[in-house]
């Protein structure tokens, strides 16, 4: 059923995707796994956009579809993040990229795992990441990007942290559809998350919560 859900999202069958989500929740499927399937679907939509098969309307439709799905799923994993905060994470989608589904899922999972999260949105320039970090004092900076154009934006952002003298005081993680360990190395980040839960687990290790 997860494969059917992913196919429905990728092929823009909104009604079917929402029905499958309801069925998965009724069957007590792991809500985090449903969100991960959504993220993987969005990665495929992103690839179609980059190759010219899909255009901005499809991108926006997929984003809206996934927001509706996440609204159904998120209440199922509420209430896990009570008590003392585990650490502070600054989260944003880098300059030139407007995707927020993966970022939103990571932010939500960090929140329910006890982290204080500041989400600074999409299309965030390097200097804005630095300004927000100076004000927020995060333990970790998490940069999201779905498209290949995000590679250089991530590198520019890490370079901006170095220039501001902040790089040694913060861990930087990247994630998103086209990201890999090679891109982490290229950008100067500390790690690349394979998916939302991998990112959360890495951040938990870094902050000593695990």
Domain span at 150: 88-206
Task: Return the pLDDT at 162.
Answer: 98
pLDDT means over runs of 10, the chain (210 residues) = 94 96 94 85 84 87 86 74 75 92 84 89 97 97 92 98 97 93 98 90 88
Residue 139 lies inside a defined structural domain of this protein: yes
- Can you give the CATH number for the domain in which 151 is found? 3.40.50.280
DSSP string, 91-153: EEEBTT----HHHHHHHHHHHHTT-EEEE--SSB-HHHHHHHHHHH--SEEEEE--STTHHHH
Distance set, CA 40 to CA 62, 136, 173, 207 (Å): 12, 30, 19, 27
Task: Return the pLDDT at 147.
Answer: 85
- Which DSSP symbol is given to 81? -
Point out the domain boundary residue: 47, 77, 107.
Answer: 77
- Rounded Cα distance between 46 and 43, Å, is 5
Dihedral in degrees, nearest 10, Cα atoms 74, 76, 81, 82: 120
Q: In terms of Cα–Cα distance, which of 35, 167, 37, 158 is closest to 94?
A: 158
- Can you give the CATH number for the domain in which 72 is found? 1.10.1240.10
Q: Are residues 102 and 195 in the same domain?
A: yes
Residue 28 lies inside a defined structural domain of this protein: yes
Q: Are residues 46 and 130 in the same domain?
A: no
Task: Return the pLDDT at 19.
Answer: 97
The whole-model pTM stands at 0.72
- Which DSSP symbol is given to 6? H
Q: Are residues 119 and 175 in the same domain?
A: yes
Task: Return the pLDDT at 59.
Answer: 81
Q: Are residues 69 and 96 in the same domain?
A: no
- Which region, left, alpha or beta, applies to residue 32 given φ > 0 means left and ψ of -120 to 50 means alpha? alpha
Q: Are residues 17 and 118 in the same domain?
A: no
Q: Are residues 133 and 194 in the same domain?
A: yes
Q: Are residues 163 and 59 in the same domain?
A: no
Task: Return the pLDDT at 143.
Answer: 98
Q: Are residues 56 and 129 in the same domain?
A: no
């Amino acid at each position: 059923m997860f494969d059917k859900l992913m196919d429905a999202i990728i092929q823009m069958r909104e009604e079917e995707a929402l029905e499958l989500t309801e069925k998965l929740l009724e069957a007590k499927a792991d809500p985090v796994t449903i969100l991960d399937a959504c993220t993987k679907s969005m990665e495929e939509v992103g690839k179609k956009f980059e190759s010219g098969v899909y255009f901005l309307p499809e991108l926006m439709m997929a984003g809206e579809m996934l927001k509706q799905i996440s609204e159904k799923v998120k209440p199922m994993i509420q209430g896990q993040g009570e008590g003392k905060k585990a650490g502070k994470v600054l989260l944003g989608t880098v300059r030139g990229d407007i995707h927020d589904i993966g970022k939103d899922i990571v932010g939500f999972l960090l929140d329910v795992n006890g982290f204080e999260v500041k989400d600074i949105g999409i299309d965030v320039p390097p200097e804005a990441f630095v300004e927000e970090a100076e004000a927020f004092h995060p333990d970790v900076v998490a940069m999201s990007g779905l498209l290949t154009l995000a590679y250089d934006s991530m590198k520019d952002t890490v370079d901006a942290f170095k220039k501001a003298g902040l790089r040694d005081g913060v861990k930087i993680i990247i994630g998103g559809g086209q990201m890999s360990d090679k891109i982490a190395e290229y950008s100067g980040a500390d790690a690349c998350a394979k998916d939302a839960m991998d990112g959360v687990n890495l951040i938990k290790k870094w902050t000593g919560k695990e």
